[in-house]
Structure 1
Amino acid sequence: MAEIAFYHLTRTPLDQALPKLLGRVLATGGRALVLCGSEERVAALDAALWLSPDPDWLPHGTPAMGQAQHQPIWLQAEDVGPDGAPNRARFLVLVDGADSAHLPLFDRVLDLFDGADQAAVEAARRRWSAARAAGHALSYWQQGQRGWEKKQG
């Protein structure tokens, strides 16, 4: 089973919070797959990662660029197949309510959702309940004054 961490965005938008989390993944030598809710979001996050000031270098790719196997961060809108991430990522980042039928293929899953969007919060609660019922290890993080704070789920 995967370890799933829910990240409740309350202070910054996704395009500002995601680069820092991906920077932490890269700092551990990890690789990440970012599963987006749409191709438009893939394009927007692609641009945000190139323009990110902190960290200022997030090597990544998208299906439009190709060569997933060479990219430590890969953004796509389609779920992975039974063979896992095209870039061999062990971290899966879910945004826009995206979900994967293959969560157990990953060591860690980060589910980011917008706290200002009530529908997104309700959808995250449903994903939490489903993940708990499936036996995944869960944690809940919320943005606070000094960064991410682990809360009781």
Structure 2
Amino acid sequence: MGVVMFYHLTASSMEETARALLTRSLQAGWRVMLRGTDAAGLERLDTILWQGPAESFLPHGLAGGTHDAQQPVLLGTGAIANDAKALMAVEGAEVSPDEAEGLERVFILFNGHDDAAVAAARVQWKTLTGAGLAAQYWSEESGSWQKKAG
């Protein structure tokens, strides 16, 4: 059982934070499922991840293709379909305790300027820690990422 890491975004964008965490996850040798709640938002993220310098290339694909199982990073709204060892939840996507228990890492990214997103993250924290999962809370309110709990 790994760790659930909550990222309270107040300065960095979700896209910047996702890129950094996805890069680290791939370096650790993990496949990642990035779960959102909105197909259009995932398509926008897909486009952003294809952009940028060659050294920051992140191999990935949108769920629903013929090669989902082989994708190092799979963007989708449903269940893990690429044998991922890490799950990144954005846009308030749900993560169950049973699902999280079998993973090396769960990343929950939420917008700190959106009261509903903060409230939803609090519910997820209580649900996952209440099920006995180890969790960490990271905030960038001071201008750099700092672990505040866990």
Q: TM-score, normalised by structure 1?
A: 0.87
* Secondary structure class of the residue paired with 1:11: coil
Residues of 2 paired with 1:133 and 1:62: CA distance? 32
Shift of the 147–23 alpha-carbon distance from structure 1 to 2, 3 Å rule, reads farther
CA contact (8 A) 1:4 1:138 kept: yes
1:141 aligns with 2:138: yes
Matching residue of 1:3: 3
Residues of 2 paired with 1:90 and 1:12: CA distance? 25
CA contact (8 A) 2:11 2:143 kept: no
CA deviation map 1:68-113 (0-9, x unaligned)? 12211000012x1xxxx21111000000110133222322100000
Residues of 1 paired with 2:55 and 2:89: CA distance? 20
* Secondary structure class of the residue paired with 1:41: helix
Task: Report sequence identity in percent.
Answer: 35
Shift of the 54–97 alpha-carbon distance from structure 1 to 2, 3 Å rule, reads farther
CA deviation map 1:41-93 (0-9, x unaligned)? 21011111111449620000112433012211000012x1xxxx211110000
1:127 aligns with 2:121: no
Gapped regions of structure 2 (runs ≥ 5): none
Counterpart mapping for 1:73-84 below 5 A: 73-78=73-78, 80=79
Matching residue of 1:151: 148
Gapped regions of structure 1 (runs ≥ 5): none
Matching residue of 2:81: 86
Q: TM-score, normalised by structure 2?
A: 0.89
How many residues were matched structurally?
148
Query: How big is the shift at 1:144?
Result: 5.1
Residues of 1 paired with 2:127 and 2:102: CA distance? 17
Counterpart mapping for 1:9-28 below 5 A: 9-28=9-28
Matching residue of 2:37: 37
CA contact (8 A) 1:33 1:91 kept: yes
Give runs of ≥4 in structure 1 deviating > 3 Å: 52-55, 144-147
